[in-house]
Amino acid sequence: MKTKLHLLAIFYRSFGLYLWVVAIGAWYLLGRPTGRDLGVVIPALVLFKFFLQAITVRILRSRYAHVFFFYANASLSQRSLFAAAFTADLVFFFLSMGTIQLASEWM
Amino acid sequence: MDVATHHTLEADSIWLAYQEQKILQNIYIKLETGHITGLLGRNGTGKSCLMRMIFGTLRGESQSVRVNGDYISHPYLQAGLISYLPQHNFLPKQLRVKEVCQLYHVDFEAVCEHFEALQQYRNTRIGDLSTGNVRLIGTLLVVLLPVSFTLLDEPFAALSPLAVEQMRKVILGQKPHKGILISDHSYEDVVAMADETYLLVPVGRSIRLKNVHSELAEFGYI
């Protein structure tokens, strides 16, 4: 189990930062909304994240398909890899938005 | 899966087609622990596809893989059952050699027992290794993985003659407790190691060879 979690973390690390930076960049470009304004743009940002995730799946499957055999030899399917990575991605995104919201309230 | 007992893996009813073009049909292949099975065929006859279908990462029109008589839909998802060496590098470039060994539960020192020169690459990232060394480490990892069946797609590609000879010894050393399917264009190495040999012929049929060299010539492989 520990090994599988380690492998899932390695998979997420291979593109997770890029997904996080692009989403935070989108929030920045939208004028760094906070408070009620942030609540308004969150659904759009989440949809944008789904779009980024779809692109990530497409790129990895077409350009880096051979790397999935590394995980398959450890009994991990593409479905479980993407499900875990995208769940983690959404958790980090909402944590970031929550942190931004709390910071704006304290300032 | 207990590696000490005898296991069989049978693949049949394997049909694969791309855009109406038949790749594999009417396939039967049997692997047994303690046996090395050779898989030969000209380029494009579907050897790699067959291995991926047995492994479970490629789905065709139909496939049946049974282990000890029990149907298994995705063999690679069964821990300790099967490993697969693809033709191209599959190791993530950002990982270090030692880390990859740990993740695969393969002792790095055991790897170095077979190839002492690899000792210096313990902390080297996969992406910083030469193509030959990446292939060597990838092949060793898959061969040494603690599983019952191992599928090797061109294990001798990109290896020097001395490394090929040593790799043959490593594979033969794993034979007593594994069923190994091996495919390589260095057919003499495959035939020399194999207890039984299958030939894939157009269009996607498998033939178990009885008189290997004469039948390879008869079917136009050599």
Report CA B130 to chain centroid distance, whole Å: 22
A15 touching B (Cβ < 8 Å): no
User: For residue B57, what is the DSSP state?
Assistant: S
pTM of the model: 0.93
Task: Going residue by residue through chain B, which has 222 residues, state the pLDDT in tens, using 9 for 90 and above.
Answer: 665 689 999 999 999 998 888 999 989 999 999 999 999 999 989 999 999 999 999 999 999 999 999 999 999 999 999 999 999 999 999 999 999 999 999 999 999 999 999 999 999 999 999 999 999 999 999 999 999 999 999 999 989 999 999 999 999 999 999 999 999 989 999 999 999 999 999 888 999 999 999 999 999 998
Which of B8, B46, B41, B54 minimizes the C-alpha distance to B178?
Answer: B8
Asked whether the beta carbons of residue A10 and residue B95 sit closer than 8 angstroms, the reply is yes
CA atoms within 13 A on the CB side of A26: 20
Give the C-alpha separation, B179 to B25, whole Å. Answer: 23
Asked whether the beta carbons of residue B89 and residue A10 sit closer than 8 angstroms, the reply is no
B53: β partners: none
A6 touching B (Cβ < 8 Å): yes
User: For residue B197, what is the DSSP state?
Assistant: E
Give start and end residues of each alpha helix (H) in chain B.
47-55, 97-103, 108-114, 131-144, 161-174, 187-193, 212-218
Domains of chain B in start order, with CATH, are 8-213 (3.40.50.300)
Give the C-alpha separation, B70 to B10, whole Å. Answer: 10
Residue B94, φ and ψ in degrees, nearest 5: -80, -10
Asked whether the beta carbons of residue A3 and residue B86 sit closer than 8 angstroms, the reply is no
Which residue has tokens 């002792």? B107
Q: How far is B107 from chain A (nearest CA, A)?
A: 15
Chain B residues within 8 A of A79 when measuring between CB atoms: none
Chain B residues within 8 A of A73 when measuring between CB atoms: 76, 83-84, 90, 104, 141-142, 145
The sign of the torsion formed by the CA atoms of B218, B220, B221, B222 equals positive
List the single best residue of A3, A69, A77, A80 to mutate versus B (max B Cβ within 10 A).
A69
Q: Are B89 and A66 in contact (CB under 8 A)?
A: yes
